[in-house]
Amino acid sequence: MRLTLYKSACKAVKEFKTNNADTKIGTDPVPKSNFRINLEKENIRDTSISSELHYYLERQTDDTSGSAITQSINSIKKRWPSIESNSTETPLFILSAGFRSGSTLLQRMLIKHSMLWGEPYGTSGLLDHLIAPFMHLDQQWPPDSFFLDKNQPKNYQQKWIANLYPEPEHLMTAAQHYLEALFKIPANNQGYSNWGFKEVRLDGEHASFLKWLYPDSHFLLLIRNPYDAYKSYRKYPKPWYIRSPDILMDSVEKFASHWLNCCQSFLQHRSSLKAITIHYEQMINPDFDWTEIESYLGLSVDKSALQHKIDGLSNLAGVSINIDTELEQLEKLVSPLATQLGYARV
């Protein structure tokens, strides 16, 4: 029910912004009467939803570079320059540009020395929800008056404390504790000192958030020929979710969009992440030199995993599927980036 309300509220806010292009939500005063008309048209009465959307949708609609998370982090750094991570953790994150790109193979090659969780709670949008509160922070919100003033007397019973927030550095610490409780502690319990995860749903923006929390983290960014990845994906009888229940990878357009977004953001952020980009086609080559990656990670790669093909899901490998038309459509969507990366439809 709340998801339906949220979607309707999104529609109302977008319509409002379209019809009030000169009004900047979140900075200049918003004509709330007009905004309320749009909400009422969508039958929205939940003001908590609409207030959240003021900040979230402002970034979504105004950000054309796909860098909303990075912009939020930079805004936090500008307003609160003292907020810096002091974590010495060195997690490893394997991010691939979508499904069927070899992330599980790479995970198996490294799991001997590092507990790499596999797409943990992936369709729930776990990391997106963790990031969400940070996306609201900017130069105006929350007002300074909302934060606990440690230099003032603690006579809270005599103050207006309806809005009383811990300082934002505790939000960063809480995010770190959350990830470590979920991933590090169970890894330690299994005898691993190294931890991390692999994912197929996250892009370079998500990686930038993780790097902000963990400055010493390592990233392997995996890219595969989109045509081969799509052909492998189409062997499965049912489409998979990027996030359930609202983002289902059930069309060529969605597959292409996800691949493009991941690849573009990987290439954009790999320098700041100090990441290594790996192409699937290189990784499966028996002659591929892993020296740079092993030195970067401080771990040895178990190349014997290449000899064992494992697929944990039932597919239609024995069924002939003609997807030539879909591949033609995919080619129109992923070019010229695919061509620049050396990929062609065969």
Q: Give the CA-trace dihedral at 132, 98, 274, 109, to 10 degrees.
A: 120
- pLDDT averaged per 10 residues, the chain (length 346): 46 52 39 43 44 40 60 96 97 98 97 97 96 96 91 84 94 98 98 98 98 98 98 93 94 97 97 98 96 97 87 58 91 96 93
Amino acid at position 68, single letter = A
Query: Would you state the pLDDT for residue 11?
Result: 54
Is there a single domain that holds both residue 35 and residue 109? no
Is there a single domain that holds both residue 56 and residue 91? no
Is there a single domain that holds both residue 1 and residue 124? no
- In percent, how much of the chain has pLDDT > 70? 78
Give the integer Cα–Cα distance in Å for 288 and 178. 37
Kindly report the three-state secondary structure assignment for every residue of 150-162: CCCCCCHHHCCCC
- Reported as a single tens digit per residue, the pLDDT across 301-329 is 999 998 887 776 655 555 556 899 999 99
Evaluate whether residue 220 is within a structural domain: yes
CA 17 distance to own-chain centroid: 26
CA 50 distance to own-chain centroid: 24
Nearest to 250 by CA among 99, 117, 106: 99
Nearest to 107 by CA among 99, 119, 116: 116
Q: Which contiguous run of DSSP H or E holds residue 7?
A: helix 2-19
Is there a single domain that holds both residue 57 and residue 183? no
Per DSSP, the residues of 286-316 read TT---HHHHHHHTS---GGGGG-----S---
Is there a single domain that holds both residue 53 and residue 178? no
Phi, psi (5° rounding) for residue 279? -95, 135
Is there a single domain that holds both residue 130 and residue 195? yes
* Cβ atoms of residues 73 and 177 within 8 Å: no
Query: Would you state the pLDDT for residue 39?
Result: 44
Query: Would you state the pLDDT for residue 23?
Result: 41
Give the integer Cα–Cα distance in Å for 126 and 147. 27
Enter the pTM of the model.
0.80
Evaluate whether residue 68 is within a structural domain: no
Q: Which contiguous run of DSSP H or E holds residue 58?
A: helix 47-62
Query: Would you state the pLDDT for residue 19?
Result: 55
Is there a single domain that holds both residue 51 and residue 15? yes
Cα–Cα distances (Å) from 5 to 60, 83, 126, 164, 181, in that order, read 18, 35, 21, 28, 32
Q: Which contiguous run of DSSP H or E holds residue 136?
A: helix 126-136
Q: How many domains does the chain have?
A: 2
Expressed as residue numbers, the domain containing 4 is 1-62
Evaluate whether residue 75 is within a structural domain: no
Evaluate whether residue 72 is within a structural domain: no
Is there a single domain that holds both residue 255 and residue 298? yes
Is there a single domain that holds both residue 53 and residue 129? no
Query: Would you state the pLDDT for residue 40?
Result: 45
Is there a single domain that holds both residue 37 and residue 144? no
Evaluate whether residue 80 is within a structural domain: no
* Cβ atoms of residues 203 and 265 within 8 Å: yes
Question: Can you give the CATH number for the domain in which 126 is found?
Answer: 3.40.50.300
Give the integer Cα–Cα distance in Å for 40 and 37. 5
Is there a single domain that holds both residue 196 and residue 301? yes
Evaluate whether residue 74 is within a structural domain: no
Residue 304: Cβ-neighbour burial (10 angstroms; 0-12, 13-18, 19+): exposed
Is there a single domain that holds both residue 93 and residue 53? no
